[in-house]
């Protein structure tokens, strides 16, 4: 029975709601008045009015389910008082109203209306002069109608929950995609800005030193090496978009910082890298973030600062690593605005690890200072030991 009802309900969902409710109301009315002619003649016009009251309000059952249930219940009690309800196989309108209450009404109204319905069933049985033992039989159709309504409500709630879950998953996927785009944008910015800046500086120096063949050759070798390195890193970054990123060469990390200093020296800077404290093992992504942070600072010093000296310092603390990059420049890079997207990328990288970033002119003397503190997460043991 439930399967047949669900099939009918699914077909009715494709129809206009008002038309469906109108058809239901008319069918309930016709089923109520479809009695022997003698009974209809003896009941007179009050019978037809009560039959209409017990069925026609169903036209508005979705908009006002509680009010409609009250009106239909009043009509049904009226039919019981006039003695005609006993000739009707079922109180069709009241059953539809019960189903609607179970499907649409709030919990409090469901409780109140069903209590009134139960009282109405008892009163109707007593008014019809039937044996009280028949109360169970009289209440059974209402129990079935209510159960069908509860089933529809549960299905609707489940669909709403699934739609909400789908919506949240879509939002999460969009957020993940946005973060990945931002990450790739930072990678490409850092690679291109750093490599191209060094290549431009080296090319200009090579033109100036064209008479010194050995020096010019060394500079142009550096340019070609920097270009190849940039292409390799760009290929890795773009490989992420193609889905083959993890198979490519690992990201640069702490071990590549000396090479970065060498390239800065070839660009004409007195570059120095120093460390204090005991270096600790760090995750690959944290090491890459430190490298990119230093790389961006070096890039802006080369491009804008007009500096002669560059100092990079790593301070290893108990639960964090502090990175500081300073120069003695006096160019536009002595203001945070000169960093543009680079400073934004720096902040994003540092904040992604729960760290802090400070960038601005040095407190004493000329130049610019970038300082970041990045917490070091606990690393799993690598010797296979277990606590026991």
140 and 172 Cβ atoms separated by less than 8 Å? no
Q: What is the pLDDT of residues 216-261, one digit of tens each?
A: 666 666 666 666 666 666 666 666 555 554 444 567 889 989 988 8
In this prediction, residue 275 carries a pLDDT of: 93
Q: What is the pLDDT of residues 56-107, one digit of tens each?
A: 888 888 888 889 888 888 888 887 777 666 667 778 888 898 888 888 888 8
Instruction: Give the tokens for residue 281.
Output: 């093992």
**Distance from C-alpha of 238 to C-alpha of 216, rounded to nearest angstrom:** 33
Q: Which of 213-217, 352-356, 380-384 has the highest mean pLDDT?
A: 352-356
Of the listed ranges 109-123, 175-189, 277-291, 293-307, the least confidently predicted one is 175-189
Of the listed ranges 174-188, 230-244, 245-259, 339-353, the least confidently predicted one is 230-244
DSSP letter at 340 equals T
The mean per-residue pLDDT over the stretch 309-334 comes to: 84
In this prediction, residue 115 carries a pLDDT of: 85
Q: How many CB atoms lie within 10 A of CB 74?
A: 15
**Distance from C-alpha of 95 to C-alpha of 18, rounded to nearest angstrom:** 19
DSSP letter at 83 equals T
**Distance from C-alpha of 302 to C-alpha of 308, rounded to nearest angstrom:** 9
Q: What is the pLDDT of residues 125-139, one digit of tens each?
A: 676 666 666 677 778
In this prediction, residue 325 carries a pLDDT of: 92
Complete domains list, the chain, with CATH: 2-130 (no CATH), 256-380 (3.30.565.10)
**Distance from C-alpha of 159 to C-alpha of 360, rounded to nearest angstrom:** 54
209 and 181 Cβ atoms separated by less than 8 Å? no
In this prediction, residue 273 carries a pLDDT of: 93
Of the listed ranges 129-138, 273-282, 343-352, the least confidently predicted one is 129-138
**Distance from C-alpha of 286 to C-alpha of 221, rounded to nearest angstrom:** 31
* Edge-to-edge strand list for the sheet holding 320-327: 270-276, 309-316, 320-327, 368-375, 356-361
324 and 288 Cβ atoms separated by less than 8 Å? no
Across all residues in the chain, what is the average pLDDT? 77
Pairing of strands 270-276, 320-327: unpaired
Q: Which helix (H) or strand (E) holds 103?
A: helix 92-104
To the question of pTM greater than 0.75 for the whole model, the response is: no
305 and 353 Cβ atoms separated by less than 8 Å? no
The mean per-residue pLDDT over the stretch 102-130 comes to: 79
In this prediction, residue 130 carries a pLDDT of: 63
Query: For residue 156, is it left (φ>0), alpha (ψ between -120 and 50) or beta?
Result: alpha
349 and 292 Cβ atoms separated by less than 8 Å? yes
Q: How many CB atoms lie within 10 A of CB 43?
A: 20
In this prediction, residue 14 carries a pLDDT of: 56
More confident residue, 291 or 334: 291
In this prediction, residue 242 carries a pLDDT of: 57
User: Residue 195 contacts by C-beta under 8 Å, 6 or more apart in sequence?
Assistant: 226, 227, 229, 230, 233
SS3 89: coil
Q: pLDDT confidence of 387, banded at 50, 70, 90?
A: very low
Buried residues in 144-158 as b, exposed as e (16+ CB within 10 A): bbbebbebbeeeeee
In this prediction, residue 314 carries a pLDDT of: 94
In this prediction, residue 386 carries a pLDDT of: 42
230 and 188 Cβ atoms separated by less than 8 Å? no
Q: State the residue for tokens 């277990």.
A: 386
Helix %, strand %, coil % of the chain (to 5):
70, 10, 20
More confident residue, 310 or 238: 310
Alpha helices per DSSP H over 243-373: 257-266, 284-300, 341-352
More confident residue, 15 or 333: 15
**Distance from C-alpha of 360 to C-alpha of 326, rounded to nearest angstrom:** 10
């Amino acid at each position: 029975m439930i399967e047949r009802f669900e099939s009918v309900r699914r077909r009715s969902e494709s129809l206009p709601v008002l038309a469906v409710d109108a058809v239901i109301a008319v069918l309930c009315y016709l089923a109520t008045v479809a009695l022997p002619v003698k009974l209809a003649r003896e009941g007179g016009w009050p019978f037809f009015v009560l039959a209409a009251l017990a069925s026609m309000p169903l036209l508005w059952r979705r908009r006002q389910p509680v009010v409609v249930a009250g009106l239909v219940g009043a009509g049904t009690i009226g039919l019981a008082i006039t003695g005609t309800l006993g000739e009707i196989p079922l109180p069709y309108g009241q059953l539809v109203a019960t189903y609607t209450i179970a499907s649409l009404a709030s919990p409090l109204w469901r409780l109140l209306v069903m209590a009134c319905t139960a009282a109405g069933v008892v009163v109707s049985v007593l008014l019809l002069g039937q044996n009280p033992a028949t109360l169970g039989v009289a209440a059974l159709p209402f129990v079935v109608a209510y159960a069908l309504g509860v089933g529809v409500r549960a299905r609707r709630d489940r669909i709403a929950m699934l739609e909400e879950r789908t919506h949240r998953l879509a939002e999460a996927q969009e957020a993940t995609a946005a973060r990945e785009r931002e990450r790739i944008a930072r990678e490409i910015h850092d690679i291109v800005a750093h490599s191209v800046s060094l290549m431009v500086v080296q090319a200009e120096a090579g033109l100036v030193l064209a008479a010194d063949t050995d020096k010019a050759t060394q500079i142009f070798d550096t340019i070609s090496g920097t270009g190849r390195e940039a292409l390799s890193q760009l290929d890795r970054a773009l490989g992420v978009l193609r889905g083959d990123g993890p198979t490519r060469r690992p990201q640069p990390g702490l071990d590549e910082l000396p090479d970065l200093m060498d390239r800065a020296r070839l660009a004409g800077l007195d570059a120095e890298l120093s460390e204090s404290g005991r270096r600790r093992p760090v995750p690959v992504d944290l090491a890459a973030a430190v490298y990119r942070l230093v790389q961006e600072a070096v890039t802006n010093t080369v491009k804008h600062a007009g500096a002669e000296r560059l100092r990079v310092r790593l301070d290893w603390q108990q639960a964090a690593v502090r990175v500081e990059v300073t120069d003695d420049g006096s160019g536009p890079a002595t203001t945070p605005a000169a960093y543009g997207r680079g400073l934004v990328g720096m902040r994003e990288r540092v904040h992604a690890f729960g760290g802090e970033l400070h960038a601005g002119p040095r407190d004493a003397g000329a130049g610019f200072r970038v300082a970041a503190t990045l917490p070091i997460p606990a690393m799993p043991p690598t010797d296979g030991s277990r606590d026991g």
